[in-house]
Structure 1
């Protein structure tokens, strides 16, 4: 595949090894092409103002929900539910904007996977189709004000059984999309046995208080919240029946961890395209700066980072779809793709010069958002220690 044939209107952007064409069906590629078209026509024009005002326009989800991306017409169910298809979906979304990808993945990845893997067959049957259609919206509430990287042992939100109900007390932080969710998937420690359980808590339940986090310099359109729970009562029927310990939580996280690696790859595609568009048009010293050697070297490095990241996450998802879920593989992918993303977006900002900090050229959004991706869903250090433990047989977390 020749690079010169690629245009920013193509859903996968720069994919010189043809990974999407090699590994996705024609129907799946068609679905993602339609997604790319909607993103370019209806979503991209909203982003600069959304970022400037730190708001998420309702029109964004209004444009995406009718595409039925979790149950796309013509795509076989096995492929539609695969790590590979959901990965490329996140890639295409993040190629446009990381907040948009994070918003959609909060429903399609974090919340849907928590219910699908943590709920009883009856709970899944009652909710999965409604989650896929956005008839029921939800979010994933694990991180706490005092516990992020140490959440496995430090989780402090408490749940106690009281007759047929549970009573939840505690707080969660950095919960994306909570303000518009119908249900919060809340992880709390059972005071009776010390094990972590999961509950579907209505956002408007008595005792639930949401406070939006202000002043962010990354993911500005994505609305994140601190949530407090003060004597919140939920029925036993609202407890996800297949989450009885941290081991079960880890089983769910293991399946979802590749999502953020795909987002890290997708944002690199968006940054590279922003840089290429700019250097083809911008002139200095009497000619387009795309003809300068130093500019071309930076673009080549960006493409190298993107291609390495896309190859890594594609292979990871293929292995996962074969049933091979290995913590250190997912950790390695998150660590490396997010690290490369940081360099890629910095190079994009560089080649745009002073204009690289302006929203109108897109690169500034990717530059700022890469910092959030570098830290969320497992910091660089924690993922490195997971990989290091696998390499040496020694845990070095403390």
Structure 2
């Protein structure tokens, strides 16, 4: 399969990939175009997830080159970002599933787990044999998770007892394990636990009536005297600083996903503009439509450039929290503009699923908020550039 960069990659960032990575990108692109695109609108409208794609998707290089037992990754951060982008330009819900599975669940075990935990769980998660979820956000704790967690962990001999609640947990209605972050009542430090979802006292209820990422199965989780052994405590998660190490990795991934959502809406609008005839000619030849499309492409290109550099810094070992936070805040804001302009270019048809932009327009709202709101990420950047924290 020959490599063909996306036309919407206006400055050719995909050419930075190695030959093997280029081939992987083409295989993943073909998979989502052939297997995901035809069903995405239907599953989104029904609010269901296409479980049948999980194993074949993870059998591609989406799962094959994820976290391994001995090394963090077997590919570059730029490649991993472009994978998120490719998935999101077709379906942000599928990209979110992968982000939870690989970035948050596998990332938690890879970064904070012991060698034994990595060996036990990472291969199963990479293949899709085990589905994971990540339980940090709570009904009364979101942006203040570093200090405001109410879920507790109590040591009881060789076990831990977890009590509390989580909200907005992706994959949680069908996950086999969930990483639960809880505050140790003894030292008030946040610790992580691998919780099998069949454990007595654990329950997950789907969140209904969403207007964004409808195919993602978010859930409310309740933990009532959930007992897990010490062997299920993430052995290298001793405070929220360790939780933040995982979030640092995934926050830049959300920035990449937002670029994909913007591209999906832009590509739909461009295709529509070339076919839609008004005043005797395709609207693509109208000045105001060309202005909208040019602004879309400008946002996409600037955001992609930022994502590429932040990913390169990760590979170089120089990326800091403020770098990924700036990327997440900036790229999701530009995404929000872009999907609105793309919908505008399609007129009334832009709000109908059949024309391609509406799903991206709606899904953008979730990406704009999760993995840290724009405001919280702005404050992380603000602290870095001023030396003063302004969180409260």
TM-score scaled by length of structure 2: 0.95
What residue in structure 2 maps to residue 138 of structure 1?
132
Aligned with residue 51 of structure 1, among 40, 44, 47: 44
Matched, 1:365 2:359: yes
Matched, 1:353 2:347: yes
Verify the 8 A CA contact 2:322 2:380 in the aligned structure 1: yes
Matched, 1:37 2:30: yes
State how many pairs are aligned.
Answer: 386
Distance in structure 2 (CA, Å) of the matches to 1:260 and 1:13:
22
What residue in structure 2 maps to residue 122 of structure 1?
116
Aligned with residue 189 of structure 1, among 177, 183, 186: 183
Shift of 1:47: 1.1
Output one character per residue of 1:188-241: Cα deviation in whole Å (capped at 9) or x when no partner. Answer: 000111111100001111000111000100001111000000000000000000
Aligned with residue 228 of structure 2, among 234, 239, 247: 234
Partner of 2:249: helix, strand, or coil?
A: helix
Partner of 2:297: helix, strand, or coil?
A: helix
Distance in structure 2 (CA, Å) of the matches to 1:83 and 1:68:
14
Partner of 1:70: helix, strand, or coil?
A: helix
Shift of 1:135: 1.8
What residue in structure 1 maps to residue 382 of structure 2?
388
What stretches of structure 1 of length at least 5 have no aligned partner? 1-8
Partner of 2:154: helix, strand, or coil?
A: strand
Distance in structure 2 (CA, Å) of the matches to 1:367 and 1:377:
19
What residue in structure 1 maps to residue 105 of structure 2?
111
What residue in structure 2 maps to residue 4 of structure 1?
none
Shift of 1:256: 2.0
What residue in structure 2 maps to residue 28 of structure 1?
21
Aligned-residue CA RMSD in angstroms? 1.6
Matched, 1:220 2:209: no
Shift of 1:13: 4.6
Distance in structure 1 (CA, Å) of the matches to 2:54 and 2:363:
20
Partner of 2:63: helix, strand, or coil?
A: coil
Verify the 8 A CA contact 1:70 1:80 in the aligned structure 2: no
Distance in structure 1 (CA, Å) of the matches to 2:200 and 2:329:
40
Verify the 8 A CA contact 2:72 2:110 in the aligned structure 1: no
What residue in structure 2 maps to residue 294 of structure 1?
288
Distance in structure 2 (CA, Å) of the matches to 1:80 and 1:237:
27
Shift of 1:391: 1.6
What stretches of structure 2 of length at least 5 have no aligned partner? none
Matched, 1:209 2:233: no
What residue in structure 2 maps to residue 255 of structure 1?
249
Aligned with residue 309 of structure 1, among 303, 306, 310: 303
TM-score scaled by length of structure 1: 0.94
Partner of 2:89: helix, strand, or coil?
A: helix
